[in-house]
């Protein structure tokens, strides 16, 4: 099986990823990627290429996402006050928003299309001494056909 692990910049919020505007003389808003989103996608593509990704994984894939929010300067006082749950007080993008942004940024770069994603495992990690980031492991999945026996019975 083919797998790649990428350490990427912390994803944008979906609120900053999309922008909508109403062109003069039109009655319908147009929704498009924000300039910030375009820059994020470009950066992710370059980082994937620098990590050795030469072509998208073709076919079914699994995503394992580890989201590391920024550790605040007052993390030690939060830890004393809240104990093991101190990291619940840290601001962090929602996992589902992070996944959408990541899948979109990696489409055509590390995966052919997000329609091929069969499994997503996403975790919010405790902030550490490193920068805010996301670690994504993309694994190619075997194209199993559990009902192949049924197809043979029809012949």
On whether residue 153 sits in a domain, the answer given is no
**How do residues 83-129 score in pLDDT, each as one tens digit?**
988 888 888 899 999 999 999 999 999 999 999 999 999 999 999 98
On whether residue 151 sits in a domain, the answer given is no
On whether residue 63 sits in a domain, the answer given is yes
* CATH code of the domain in which 18 resides: 3.30.1330.70
**How do residues 50-80 score in pLDDT, each as one tens digit?**
999 999 999 999 999 999 999 988 989 999 9
On whether residue 71 sits in a domain, the answer given is yes
Q: For residue 140, what are its two tokens?
A: 């190619």
Domain count, the chain: 1
Helix (H, G, I), strand (E, B) or coil at 105: helix
On whether residue 16 sits in a domain, the answer given is yes
On whether residue 155 sits in a domain, the answer given is no
């Amino acid at each position: 099986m083919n797998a790649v692990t990428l350490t990427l910049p912390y994803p944008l919020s979906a609120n900053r990823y999309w922008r909508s505007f109403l062109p003069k003389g039109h009655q319908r808003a147009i929704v498009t990627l924000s300039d910030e989103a375009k820059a994020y996608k470009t950066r992710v593509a370059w980082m994937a290429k620098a990590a050795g990704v030469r072509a998208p994984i073709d076919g079914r894939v699994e995503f394992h996402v580890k989201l590391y929010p920024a550790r605040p300067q007052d993390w030690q006082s939060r830890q004393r006050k809240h104990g093991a749950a101190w990291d619940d007080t840290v601001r962090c993008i929602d996992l589902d928003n992070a996944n959408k942004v990541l899948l979109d940024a990696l489409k055509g770069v590390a995966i052919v299309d997000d329609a091929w994603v069969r499994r997503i495992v996403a975790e919010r990690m405790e902030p550490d001494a490193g920068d805010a980031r996301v670690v994504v492991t993309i694994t190619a999945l075997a194209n199993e056909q559990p009902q192949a026996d049924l197809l043979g019975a029809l012949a």
